[in-house]
Structure 1
Amino acid sequence: MTRLILLLLLMAAPAAADDPWQGRSAAFFGVSFLDTSTEGDLNGARADEAARVELVERQAAEAFRARGVTLLDLAPVEEDLGRIRNPAKCNGCDLRMARRLGADYAIVAEVQKVSNLILAMNLYVKEVATGAQIRGQAVDIRGNTDESWQRGMRYILERNVFR
């Protein structure tokens, strides 16, 4: 019985060593919302879209935590973050802030609304030590609903980030 347990532990060791998530830390800078639709120009921000941003932020955060990633408190970089409209497109400020926090990864995401029918969602994971993007994907989603946003985020997470 002891040999069987030892054999199982030895077989599991390489898999655990190859896990890029377990025991790592990340600076997750949330989801930026870019409304480039005519509706946004005319009517301004919508409460339902702000709620959807929070919804997919929670979805992504929970998925990373479930994989063993510690999401770091952004308070030490809050002042810098407050000056940035979109951490996904800030000439490496995401990596600089993540480095200051001592993170292994920087995670950025954005949703661009073209219209109520067409939206694009992106999520990227960069390795802080090298600056290299190690995972990430952009998907187009159809429909501006809770379900479509969650489906888009789930697709990115399941088919790319945690593949």
Structure 2
Amino acid sequence: MPAKTWMIAAAGLLAAGLPVAATAEEPTVAVANFDYTDTSGEVRDQTAEHEARLEAFRSRLETRLADGGPYVPVALGCPSEQACSLGTLRAQLLLRRARDAGADYLVFGEVHKMSTLVGFGRIDVLDVEADRLVFDRVISFRGDTDEAFDRAADFVADDILRTLAEPSAAKAGAEGDDRRGVR
């Protein structure tokens, strides 16, 4: 139940002298798979390692959003793990999957390995109902290790939690913000 609807319902119950529960429904978040590009030119095939790191990044981000904030994770319900990223689905289909899953927010993006030492990425958070971006960041991190990806996921999760806690993020879609959804 949206917060405004909950407040109206609570006011009606209070007026009728009925008890009101103190908790509102927690917002839901779907974390899509992240796309990955490696232009480092390294000879050794690291595809399996990178796929594992990317899934660990996605999973850690999802867990941190749930543990560090009021967000309940929901699955996008894609038929295969690989088919659930902005790079593998059309933007409108990814948005539809998020809506069908009941997600209030959709986290998506990509990671790019530029060299052995430098990675960067783009992370976006979409207010699903409004189809508006409430968070968009370009990040960079050092290293191509499990630890480097873990640190990057922790940093992104903390930044998302901090940003979504700001009142301006909650109002972004309602005030005519032109940062239209998935692109």
Aligned partner letter, 1:105: Y
How far off its partner does 1:151 sit?
A: 1.7
Aligned partner letter, 1:71: P
C-alpha distance in 2, partners of 1:59/1:36?
25
Alignment partner of 1:74 out of 68, 76, 98: 76
Aligned partner letter, 1:119: G
TM-score after normalising by structure 2:
0.63
C-alpha distance in 2, partners of 1:111/1:118?
11
C-alpha distance in 1, partners of 2:55/2:91?
24
1:29 paired with 2:32, answer yes
How far off its partner does 1:152 sit?
A: 1.8
How far off its partner does 1:35 sit?
A: 1.8
Determine the structure 1 residue equivalent to 2:178. Answer: none
Determine the structure 2 residue equivalent to 1:149. Answer: 149
Determine the structure 2 residue equivalent to 1:49. Answer: 50
C-alpha distance in 1, partners of 2:81/2:48?
25
- Structure 2 residue runs without a partner (length 5+): 1-22, 163-183
Aligned partner letter, 1:162: L
| Matched residues, number | 139
How far off its partner does 1:127 sit?
A: 0.4
How far off its partner does 1:36 sit?
A: 2.5
Q: Do the aligned residues in 2 keep the contact of 1:136 with 1:156 (CA within 8 Å)?
A: no
Determine the structure 2 residue equivalent to 1:134. Answer: 134
Q: Write out aligned runs for 1:56-135 (5 A).
A: 56-66=57-67, 67-75=69-77, 77-78=78-79, 82=83, 86=87, 90-135=90-135
Determine the structure 2 residue equivalent to 1:4. Answer: none
Secondary structure at 1:134's aligned position in 2? strand
C-alpha distance in 2, partners of 1:69/1:27?
9
Percentage identity across paired residues of the two chains: 24
Secondary structure at 2:131's aligned position in 1? coil
Q: Write out aligned runs for 1:11-26 (5 A).
A: 23-26=26-29
C-alpha distance in 1, partners of 2:146/2:82?
26
- Structure 1 residue runs without a partner (length 5+): 1-15
How far off its partner does 1:81 sit?
A: 6.8
Aligned partner letter, 1:46: T
TM-score after normalising by structure 1:
0.70
Cα deviation digits, residues 64-97 of structure 1 (max 9, x gap): 211232222233x32697286726x843432222
C-alpha distance in 1, partners of 2:85/2:146?
26
Determine the structure 2 residue equivalent to 1:161. Answer: 160
RMSD: 2.8
